[in-house]
Amino acid sequence: MKAVVLVGGEGTRLRPLTFTTPKPLLPVANQVFLERQLSWLAAHGVDEVALSLGYLPDAFRARFPEGRFVDGANREVRLVYAVEPVPLGTAGAVRFAAEHLGVGERIVVCNGDVLTGLDLGALVSFHDGRQAEATIHLARVDDPSAFGVVPTFADGEVKAFVEKPPRGAAPTDWINAGTYVLEPSILERIPAGLCVSIERETFPRLLEQRGRLFAMPSDAYWIDIGTPDQYLQVHADLLAGRLGPCPVPGAHEAAPGIWIQGDATPEGLGAPVLVGPDCRIEGDARVSGSVLGAAVRVAPGAVVAQSVLHDDVTVAAGARVRDSIIGTGAVIGADAEVVDRSIVGANAVVELGGCLVRARRPATAAPATSP
């Protein structure tokens, strides 16, 4: 089976991390996020994936220089790089990438910032059972006002698309979750070389033309990692075992909720926590509810709580990091404080005694749009 993964976005809501690293290549619980997606696809029989690229495409080639990925179960996925000459929108990108696969068969499409436990085989079976041209995975959310809502008939046929309905006015709390099964007839409906949205143009037009468009709801785990809140949430969910007991392949549980990569188990850990290899938690430092990448140093008297620290981060003596994300190689100076969903970019320095708090948007400002 073939798939297209949309990984071309700039990830603006996770800046400054994404100034240097595309969002799909950021680590999630110490594993590159895209590798988690590719493992999920491989587990469901996908053996060839076209990566729809736009932003920092060379970073993907550098990560997978041989054009392939092999997961922990030794399943191999061949990778094809489809670099858009100009932004083509979600539908245009799907068609462009699918052409690079060189096939005239159905494809699976998924967004490069969504982690899910969806049974992809069940979605394909649902699609086949209804002889659909396109099938959409639906996820349930508490507040659908920020998403595209998809009401359906009893058999799953799509009734309508309601884009970002006012709070409390949505006809359903089931949203378009960004995974699709598409027949070649759908690709033929997308104009080549034009910027076209699959959510706002292709699917609604298919509905108007009485095409066979269906949607399957699933209560499987689903999250979009594209905001600081959600990026932190996915780590908390993985530590809580919502996608399986182990947050990352190869880690071992040294004590209940204490997950370790490598041989040594540092002192000063409070469950749940994941600690990468070669980390040092010194003196009376304390780390809890957090994920530390490889070779992180937390100096005496420092506190790290409900945070994500990428590789080679230093948290100096007496510093405090709470509810925040710290990029690779960053330094948090002595007695500094980083709190409240703040993001420190790769190799940045928060000076001794400094304080970093996430900026608040004025109450009257318009909501941020997705990148």
Full 3-state SS string of 218-262 = CCCCEEECCCHHHHHHHHHHHHCCECECCCCCCCEEEECCEEECC
Note whether 333 and 354 are within 8 A (CB).
yes
d(CA 17, CA 72): 27
Which pLDDT tens digit goes with each residue over 294-333? 999 999 999 999 999 999 999 999 999 999 999 999 999 9
The CA-CA-CA angle for residues 27, 52, 147, to 5°, reads 75
Q: What is the model's pLDDT at position 167?
A: 82
30-36 average pLDDT score: 97
d(CA 47, CA 41): 8
pLDDT above 70 coverage of the chain, percent:
96
Torsion of CA 241, 2, 94, 115, to 10 degrees: 0
Which residues, in sequence order, are bridge partners of residue 105?
none
Q: How many CB atoms lie within 10 A of CB 194?
A: 13
Q: What is the model's pLDDT at position 225?
A: 95
* The dihedral sign for the CA sequence 303, 306, 310, 311: positive
* The dihedral sign for the CA sequence 14, 275, 270, 223: positive
Which pLDDT tens digit goes with each residue over 205-226? 998 888 899 999 999 999 999 9
Alpha carbons within 13 A on the beta-carbon side of 261? 22
* The dihedral sign for the CA sequence 47, 53, 55, 59: positive
pLDDT mean across residues, the chain = 91
Residue 371 has pLDDT above 70, yes or no: no
Query: pTM value?
Result: 0.91
Which pLDDT tens digit goes with each residue over 260-274? 998 888 899 999 999
Residue 63 has pLDDT above 90, yes or no: yes
Q: Which pair of tokens denotes residue 353?
A: 């005694």
Residue 102 has pLDDT above 90, yes or no: no
Residue 364 has pLDDT above 90, yes or no: no
Q: At 198, phi and psi to the nearest 5?
A: -70, -35
Cβ burial 232-245 (10 Å sphere, 16+ → b, else e): bebbbbbbeeebee
Q: What is the model's pLDDT at position 359?
A: 55
Q: Which pair of tokens denotes residue 227?
A: 């905001």
pLDDT above 90 coverage of the chain, percent:
81
d(CA 363, CA 127): 43
336-354 average pLDDT score: 92
Q: What is the model's pLDDT at position 369?
A: 30
123-130 average pLDDT score: 96
**Domains of the chain by range and CATH?**
2-226 (3.90.550.10), 229-357 (2.160.10.10)
d(CA 151, CA 171): 7
Q: What is the model's pLDDT at position 356?
A: 76
